[in-house]
Amino acid sequence: MVENGDKTAIQNKKTEKKTEKMNQTPAQPEIHDLIGQRLRSFYDEVAKQPVPDRFVELLNQLEAKSSPKKSS
């Protein structure tokens, strides 16, 4: 049976190895640029889509509940 302290030590070693590996990876700015371009393109497409009717309904309900009632 592995004790709690042993589990933590094992996890720490795994994390250290992953960190070392990431630090050894050569910088590849062209890959980062490509990822950035694709993410921006995807975000732009999503941002252009209309707000779903259900969201509009929920926002209207929320606004109606939070706005002060006018008495006549």
pLDDT 10s digits, 5-19: 677 877 778 778 777
Q: Specify the higher pLDDT residue, 37 or 3.
A: 37
pLDDT digits (tens, 9 = 90+) for 58-71: 999 999 998 876 65
Buried/exposed 8-31: b ≥16 CB within 10 Å, e otherwise = eeeeeeeeeeeeeeeeeeeeeeee
> What is the rounded average pLDDT of the residues 21-50?
85
What is the model's pTM? 0.39
